[in-house]
A and B are shown apart, each in its own frame.
Chain A
Amino acid sequence: MKINIGKLDSCVLITQPAQFLFVTESFVGKVLGMPERQILFCPGSELFLLFLSTGGSLTKLAYYSTVQHKVARVRSFDHSGKDAEQEHEPPYEISVQEEITARLHFIKFENTYIEACLDFIKDHLVNTETKVIQATGGGAYKFKDLIEEKLRLKVDKEDVMTCLIKGCNFVLKNIPHEAFMYQKDADPEFRFQTNHPNIFPYLLVNIGSGVSIVKVETEDKFEWIGGSSIGGGTFWGLGALLTKTKKFDELLHLASKGQHTNVDMLVRDVYGGAYQTLGLSGNLIASSFGKSATADKEFSKEDMSKSLLHMISNDIGQLACLYAKLHNLDRVYFGGFFIRGHPVTMRTITYSINFFSKGEVQALFLRHEGYLGAIGAFLKGAEQDNPNQYSWGENYAGSSGLMSTSPELFPMQRARSGTFDLLEMDRLERPLVNLPLLLDPSSYIPDTVDLTDDAMARKYWLTCFEEALDGVVNRAIASQPDAIDAAERAEKFRQKYWNKLQTLRHQPFAYGTLTVRSLLETREHCLNEFNFPDPYSKVKQRENGIALKCFQRVIRSLDSLGWEERQFALVKGLLAGNVFDWGAKAVSDVLESEPQFGFEEAKRKLQERPWLVDSYGEWLQRLKGPPHKCALIFADNSGIDIILGVFPFVRELLFRGTEVILACNSGPALNDVTYNESLIVAERIAAMDPLIQSALREDKLLLVQTGSSSPCLDLSRLDKGLAVLVRERSTDLVVIEGMGRAIHTNYHAALRCESLKLAVIKNSWLADRLGGRLFSVIFKYEVPAK
C-alpha cells in the first residue's frame, strides 16, 4: 500500500509491511530541528518508520530506508578486443549508475519533540490501513494515549526484553568493536573487544528502574534468570529523597564529586588501623550508610549520592557475579539507563564486578546500548524480510560517536552535535563470515596498531590524514568533471571528514578502537555520503590501460629467465607493482609529478636484499617442493600492481599446478582494484595469454569479491562465497599484498596454512617505526607450527 504524502522532497512513502509507519528524512530534519543529512533521497526511496521508543527523557526513532546513491560501474566495450588495443583508447568504460541499498537509521532525540513528531505523522498519514504501531520502553505506556489519540493507531507494545536481546545479538554480530570494557584512570579508558565469532552464551544485565538479568543462549533462546529491585530507580528515587535533587543526571553529577567514606562505614572504621594485618583492604565498605547511623551530623548531598551510587553498583555487580557463577558465564553485558553514557556508573559497576568475581567475569558495555530496543523492534517487525540473513555495517559517516551527547565527558561536544545521537547501518548485500583459515578466530585482531592505545601513532596518523585531505578533495572533484556541484559536495566532504578527525582527536574511542583501517574506512564512507562513489575510477582506468599494454612484454621477459631468476623477478614484480599506491602520500606525490613513472622506475625504488623482513630464502626453498593445492590472493592496487605484479605471479602458480582464488574488493576504495575491474582485467589478459584463458575456463583461476570496500582487510568479515570457495578448494596458501592489508592489518594474523605477506613501506614514519626506510620491503613467509 502506498501513501502519497505530497511533494515533500518528492518522496513517495510506502507502508510496507502494514504495521509500519513512515516519515521522511525531511521530517526528521525539519520537525526535529536536526541538521539535515546529505543523503539525496530520490523518488522511489522508501522510508519506513519502524519503531518509536520513548523512555525517560529520550525518544528513539528507528526507520529503515532504501537509499539510492551513485555507484561507479565498469563495463567492457562492446566491440572486439582488437579495437580496444588502439592507442589512447581506454580499456573499458566507466558509467555512474544509481544503486539502491538498504539503510537502517536510528535517532535519539529529546521527548519535547514527541508531540510535533506525532502531529506530523498524523498530517501525512492519509488513507492508511496501518492500524498498529510498534512501540516499546516505559514511554510506550507514558505516551500510549497520546499516540493512540493523535494517530488513531493502536500501540502494539513490543516485549521490551525480547527486543532488547534481539538488538543486542544484532550489534554484537554486526558492529565491530561494539563491546568494550571501561577502566577509569586507564589510558585509554575504553578497551574495545574484537567481535567474538561465537557470541553465545552471555549474560545481559539491564539496569533500568530495576534490574533484569537474562541469560542468552542462542539467537532465539533466552531466559530471565533473575533480577533485583535495587536499580536505577532506587538510585534516582532514594537519591531524590536524600538530596532533594530531582534529575538523574544531576544526582550522578553530585555523586561524581562526593566522598562516600564520610557516609559509609568502612572496614577500617570497624577494625581501626589493624586491618592490614588481616590482609583486608581498609577501604572496603563494611556497611553502606553505616556512618549515618552512628554519627550525629549533616551529610553533604555529594557524599550521600556517592555512597548511594556505590551501594547500588556494588549490589548489582555482586548479584551479576552470583548469577554468572551459577550459570557458568564469564561475559556480562550491562545496559539500561543507569549505565547509558555515564562513565561514573560504568566505573563503579566495573569495579564491583572485578571485586566480586576476582577478575573472572568481565563487565562489558555496548557502544550502541541505547539502540538495542529499537533495533530489536525493527528486527521483530521485519521478520519476514529476515534481516538476519544479511550482514550490516556501521556507517561511520552517518553515526555519531560514543558519548557524543554525554555532558559529563564532553560539554563542548554536546553543544556541537545538539541533542541528537545517530546510528546508521548499511545493509551489505551478502553475509560476511570469518576466513576459515584463521588459526583462532576468537583471538584474531585485524589491526596491527591500536591508535586508541598508542598516542604517538594516533597523533601521527590523524595529522597524516588531515594533510592528505586536500589531495583527496581535489581528486574527488577531478573525478566528476561534468558535475557542476562537485566542488560544493567535495567541500562538504572535507568539512565532514575534518570534523570526524577532530572528534577522534578528542575521543579516540568514538567509533570503537581507532585504527588506520577505521580512519580509511571513515573517509570512504564520507566520500560516499557526498556522492563520490569512486574518485579514482578514472585514474584506475588509465593505469589499467597502460599496464595491460605492457603485460605481454613483461611476460616474455619473465619467460626468458631461468627458474630461480624468474621466481625472484616475480616477487620483485609483485613488490614493485605495490609501489603504485595513491593512498600513500609519498607515492601519490611522485605519480602526480612524474607521469612517466613506471614499472622499471618502481623496481629501482625498492630496497635491495636483505629486505627489512626477508624470508625469501624459505619461500624459494618451498617453491622447490611440491606445488600448493590452492592459493588465495588478496590483491591491492589497480594498474601495474594487479596486471604486471599479481597476474604474472598468478600465472606462475597456475603453471605449477596450483589453483588460484583472486580476491578483490567488492566496492571501490582509493585506487584498489575492485572485483568488477578485476573481471575485465582478467578477461583482457586471457585474450593475450592462453594459460590464464584456460585457467579461467577450467575454474582453476577464480575471481571473487572480498565483501569489503576498504583499503584494509578484516579476515573476520569476508564474503561468504569466498569462504565457501576457500574451504572447497582446500586452500593451503594465502598471499596478502600491500600496506593496508599486510601491515596496517593482518601483520600479526596467524593462519592455519602457509602465508605470504608482502608490502613496500610507502610511509616514512611507519618505516621508522619498523626500523626501516621509505620503500623498505616486507616479505614475510610463514608456515604454521605443526
Chain B
Amino acid sequence: MEMPSLLPHPGAHWVGRRDWFALRRRTGWRPAKGGASAEVAAAEEEEAVGTGGRHGRERRRLLLMGAGRSEAPMEHQGRAAAAPAAAATITTTAAATAVSSPPGPPASASSSSGEPGPGGPVLEPRRREPARRRASSTSAASSSSLTSSASAAVDSQFRGAASGVSRERPGSYSGATHATRQRLESLKKNRPLFPWFGLDIGGTLVKLVYFEPKDITAEEEEEEVESLKSIRKYLTSNVAYGSAGIRDVHLELKDLTLCGRKGNLHFIRFPTHDMPAFIQMGRDKNFSSLHTVFCATGGGAYKFEQDFLTIGDLQLCKLDELDCLIKGILYIDSVGFNGRSQCYYFENPADSEKCQKLPFNLKNPYPLLLVNIGSGVSILAVYSKDNYKRVTGTSLGGGTFFGLCCLLTGCTTFEEALEMASRGDSTKVDKLVRDIYGGDYERFSLPGWAVASSFGNMMSKEKREAASKEDLARATLITITNNIGSIARMCALNENINQVVFVGNFLRINTISMRLLAYALDYWSKGQLKALFSEHEGYFGAVGALLELLKLP
C-alpha cells in the first residue's frame, strides 16, 4: 500500500523544525549558529530529565522559558532580526543556569549576561515582595508592543513580572480592592477568573489551550493583575517557548465568544518531559496568586498533580481524558475553523494527482468512532454528547512510530522522522502479497500490492543491507498506520458505525498517514467506511479541559 510523497498539509511549513522533540537524542543534529548552544543545553537537559544524569539537574526547571532555546524556532520563523534582542534578554536565566551546568555553556549566553536578573529562578527562594515593585515592571511591559519582534522584551518582562508580581496574594494585601471587586463581578457572572487555560498532559506532549480575551475594557486593563497581563502577552506574542514549546499559530481560532467574552483561542504544545520546567515556571511566576483553576486532563494530570501542588502551589482540577476529548471535538467542530470547516476528508487518497482535501460537514455526528492517536491509541464509540464508550486501544501509536524510527534511523525529531519517511520506499522493507504469490492472491481476493508482512523483507540479510534509513522510516510509518486503520475498521464493524474520525498529534503534518488511513478504510470496507480528520488534531483534550473550566456544556 505504498504511497507517493504527499501534498503539503496546511501545517507543512512546520516540517523541518527541529525544536520540536529537539531534546530527544544526544546524537541529534542542529544547525550551527546560535542554535548550537541551545542544542548542547538541550541535550544535557535530556540527560537530567531522562536519567538524572551527569549534568546539572536543576537545569530542567528552566527549560520551557529559559535560555537560548527559543532561537532555533525563531530563525525558522524568519524572525532572525529579533535574535540579538533575544540573546540579550535570555541571558538572565541562561546565566543562572550556567552556574550549575558544567560543559561549555553557550557562548551567546555567557557573553551577553549583562542583565543581572533576580538571581535565577531556580535558586531563588520564595519570598514576598511589596506590590510597588510590580508597578515599575508593568510600565515596562505596557510599552512593548504585541508584535512578534518584541517577544524577547516580553520574555524579559515576563520574568521580571514573575519575580515581582507573584507574591501578591489577594486578601492578604490591603490594596487589592480593585481586584476583589473584579473578582466579585466575575463570580456574579459565574465566570472563572482569567487566565483561561486548558491543559492536556499526554505521554509525549503537553497540549495547552489559552483563551486570550480581546474585549478587555480600559477599566479591566487597568485593573488587570500584572502577572496576568504578562502571561497573556508572553503567550500571544511568541510562537515558540523555550527549546521545544510551540504555538500553532495556524490553528488559532479568532473572534471566539466564550462565556460572553470575545477573544482568540491559542494552541500551544511542548514535550511532556518539560513539565517540571513548566511547573517551576508556574512557581516562579506565582501563578497561584492568580487563583486560577488549572483544569488538566491526560495521564500527566495525575502524574504531575503532586508536583503542581508542592512546587507550584497549584491545585489541579483533574478531568477525565475521554470526557474532555469528546467535549473538545464537539465544541471545536461547532465553532468551525475561522469560517472554514473543521472536519475534512480526502477524495482519491491513493492518487497523488487527484487527491483532494475536502471539507466535511459533520452535521450528523452520531454515531461516531473516534480514534485518538497520540503516543498510544484510544478508540471510542460516541453515540451522543454524553453517551460514549472506550472500545479498545492499542499501544502501537505515534510513540511507536517515533520510537522505532529513532532506533532504526537515528532521527531525533518527529518532523525529521516524517521527512525521512516521505522520501523512503516501504516496498523495499515490507513483503508484499505479490512478493509471495507473484501477483494478486485470488483465493482470498488479496491485491498484490497489499503488505503481507511488515518488515518481512528484512529477514534477508541482502535486503537489510539494501534498505535505506528513509525506506525504514517509511515502512515504520506505513506499518503503524495500516495497523491503526485495521483495528479501527474492525471496531467500526463491531460497533456498526460508519464514520471514523481520526485525531491526535500523530497526524500532525502527517499527510502520508491520513491519506493511507483514508484509502485503507475505504478499500477494505468496500466503500462502507469514511475516514474523517480534523484540523485541530491533537488539541481536543485541552479544549475539553478549558470548557470544563468554564463549566460549558
Contacts and interface: CB of A to CB of B under 8 A. Distances in A.
B487 A286 contact: no
A287 interface: yes
A240 B464 contact: yes
B494 A326 contact: yes
A322 B487 contact: yes
A418 to B, nearest CB: 26
Contacts of B302: 271-272, 274-275, 277-278
B335 to A, nearest CB: 29
B203 A296 contact: no
A162 B452 CA distance: 18
A141 B438 CA distance: 10
B272 to A, nearest CB: 8
B29 to A, nearest CB: 14
Interface in B418-458: 429-431, 436, 443-444, 446, 450-458
Interface stretch (A228-236, A515-523, A715-723): A228-236
A315 B485 CA distance: 13
Nearest to A272: B303
A318 B455 contact: no
A288 B486 contact: no
Contact of A209 (B51, B408, B456, B487): B456
B407 interface: yes
A323 interface: yes
B456 A234 contact: yes
Contacts of B23: 296
Q: Which of B50, B302, B397, B482 has most chain A Cβ within 10 Å? A: B302
Contacts of B395: 264, 284-288, 290, 311, 314
B300 interface: yes
Interface string B12-38: 000000000101111000000000000
A246 B459 CA distance: 8
A265 interface: yes
B404 interface: yes
B50 A311 contact: no
Interface string A201-221: 000000011101000000000
Nearest to A244: B464
A356 interface: yes
A296 B456 contact: no
Interface in B476-529: 479, 482-483, 486-487, 490-491, 493-494
Contact of A267 (B271, B299, B487): B299
Nearest to B482: A229
Nearest to B429: A237
A233 B436 CA distance: 13
Contact of A210 (B394, B396, B452): B452
B303 A271 contact: yes
Contacts of A288: 376, 395-397, 399-400, 403
Contact of B51 (A228, A289, A297, A325): A297
Contacts of B405: 293
Contacts of B24: 293-294, 296
Nearest to B472: A241
A264 B482 CA distance: 20
A264 to B, nearest CB: 7
Interface in B196-224: 202-204
A291 interface: yes
A299 interface: yes
A269 interface: yes
B406 interface: yes
A296 B50 CA distance: 7
A224 interface: yes
A733 interface: no
B399 A287 contact: yes
A209 B431 contact: yes
Contact of B451 (A161, A229, A277): A229
Given A278-B302, A286-B299, A318 B443 contact: no
Contacts of A233: 431, 452-456, 459
A228 to B, nearest CB: 6
Contacts of B47: 296
A319 interface: yes
A234 B456 CA distance: 6
A324 B514 CA distance: 28
A126 interface: no
A241 B452 CA distance: 19
B324 to A, nearest CB: 14
A209 B403 contact: no
Nearest to B391: A322
Nearest to A285: B395
A323 B50 CA distance: 40
Contacts of B457: 237
Contact of A234 (B299, B443, B453): B453
A284 B47 CA distance: 26
B421 to A, nearest CB: 15
Nearest to A232: B453
Given A228-B486, A326-B493, A274 B407 contact: no
Nearest to B272: A294
A294 B51 contact: no
B46 interface: yes
A295 to B, nearest CB: 4
Contacts of B303: 270-274
B407 A242 contact: yes
B461 interface: yes
Contacts of B398: 287
A526 B429 CA distance: 51
A159 interface: yes
Q: Which of A138, A229, A238, A272 has most chain B Cβ within 10 Å? A: A229
A292 interface: yes
B424 to A, nearest CB: 14
Contacts of B451: 210, 229
Interface in A413-427: none
Given A270-B303, A290-B376, A291-B403, A228 B204 contact: no
A289 B454 contact: no
A701 interface: no
A386 to B, nearest CB: 24
B408 A242 contact: yes
Q: Which of A238, A294, A319 has most chain B Cβ within 10 Å? A: A294
Contact of B203 (A227, A287, A311, A315): A287
A304 B406 CA distance: 13
A311 B400 contact: yes
Interface string B28-60: 000000000000000100110011000000000
Contacts of B399: 265, 286-290, 293-294
A290 B51 CA distance: 16
B294 interface: no
Nearest to A235: B455
Nearest to B417: A293
B408 A286 contact: no
B233 interface: no
B203 A265 contact: yes
Contacts of B486: 226, 228, 319
A151 B190 CA distance: 89
B304 interface: yes
Given A234-B479, A296-B47, A289 B407 contact: yes
Contacts of B306: 272
A159 B443 CA distance: 9
Interface of A: 138, 141, 159, 161-162, 208-210, 212, 224, 226-234, 236-238, 240-242, 246, 263-265, 267, 269-275, 277-278, 284-297, 299, 304, 311, 314-315, 318-319, 322-323, 325-326, 356
13 contacts: A209-B453, A210-B452, A224-B443, A224-B446, A263-B403, A284-B395, A287-B400, A292-B403, A293-B21, A294-B271, A296-B43, A304-B407, A322-B392
Given A270-B299, A294-B272, A296-B26, 20 more contacts: A209-B459, A212-B444, A226-B490, A229-B479, A233-B431, A233-B454, A237-B457, A241-B464, A267-B299, A270-B375, A271-B300, A272-B304, A287-B374, A287-B376, A288-B399, A288-B400, A293-B406, A296-B50, A297-B50, A326-B493
